[in-house]
Amino acid sequence: MEPLSELYSAIEAHSSGNAGLLLATLVLGALLLLLSLHRSKYSYYSAPSPPLRAPYWLFGNVEMVERVADRHRLYTEWHERFGPFVRVRIAHRCMLLVADPAAASSILVKGPGYVPRKPSEYTAFDVAHGLQGYNGMLTHQDEGTWRAARRAIAPAFTVSEVKKQYPVILGCMGDTMHTLDTAIAAAGGPADFDIEHHVLIATNNVIGRGFLKLPEGFIDPEQQARDVSFIMATASRFICEPWRWVGHLYLPFLTAEDRRMWSARRRLAGWGGSIYELHAMPFLKL
């Protein structure tokens, strides 16, 4: 009888164990159900994404973005095709394009005061357009230097400051229109213009004269516009043709394009450093 009672005890213990396991499973299932009911209404990874094109699977959608002149139109086409949320992959990082501002609150998880010190997008920009040994304006700096730059520059771009600089904006755009009118008169009729270049010059003037209040002649806005346009176009090719970037990184003086790229980057880095010293250095002493 003793072996039989031991068998019954073992069966009872096994049944109790199974019941406990079943109960734990049910509790876990209930918790997961509650979480699924109370989680955000939008699932990030369920967002539709534009199909990748060969042979750029490794780089994601970057080739599609970099090869169009009007990215806004491309994004609009994606939203018309896929809906208000579109997931785009740039290399190993995914980003979400939101067409409906009212829907943004359902997916944002950080408040308006959340400003990461070194967001990867800025870091990638600095890597593509920066220069070794030169700090970016807002990234790749020690904590004190970074905060000084933020404190110095942030007040220049408030809504009240934008309203205050409206006459400067009109003046800079007026200068641009005068330049175009003069060129048309000299050509004796219709002429070809690089509108993006002239708009970039006007933007540089607005930021320099108005928001940052740089002294006259502190920078050359036309040269700066040429450098920025050239660097952006070259860096875009680096993304689609990474072997060019590797060549430029290790043999920066091999070709005429590489030498021009190096000179343009040095000028931009020098201007950036001068602006930083003018505006941010006083904040380091506070």
Across residues 231-252, what is the average pLDDT? 75
* Structure tokens that stand for 77 in this block: 């086409």
pLDDT band (50, 70, 90) for residue 119: low
pLDDT tops 80 at residue 94: no
Contact between residue 269 and residue 131 where contact means Cβ atoms under 8 Å apart:
yes
Residue 280's nearest CA partner among 154, 151, 136, 155 is 151
Burial of 33 (0-12, 13-18, 19+ CB in 10 A): exposed
**What would you report as the CA-atom Rg of the chain, rounded to the nearest whole angstrom?**
29
Strand partners of residue 89? 94
Contact between residue 201 and residue 243 where contact means Cβ atoms under 8 Å apart:
no
Helix, strand, coil shares of the chain, percent, nearest 5, are 65, 5, 30
pLDDT tops 70 at residue 108: no
Distance CA(96)–CA(137), nearest Å, equals: 26
pLDDT in tens, 54-85: 776 777 887 787 777 777 888 889 989 988 88
Strand partners of residue 34? none
Confidence at residue 209, expressed as pLDDT on a 0 to 100 scale: 84
pLDDT in tens, 191-215: 777 778 888 888 888 888 888 888 8
Place of tokens 């949320």: 85
Distance CA(208)–CA(197), nearest Å, equals: 16
Strand partners of residue 96? 87
Phi and psi based region of residue 267 (left: phi greater than 0; alpha: psi -120 to 50; beta: remaining): alpha
Distance CA(226)–CA(197), nearest Å, equals: 7
Confidence at residue 214, expressed as pLDDT on a 0 to 100 scale: 84
Across residues 160-167, what is the average pLDDT? 83
pLDDT band (50, 70, 90) for residue 39: very low
pLDDT band (50, 70, 90) for residue 18: low
Percent share of the chain, pLDDT over 90: 0
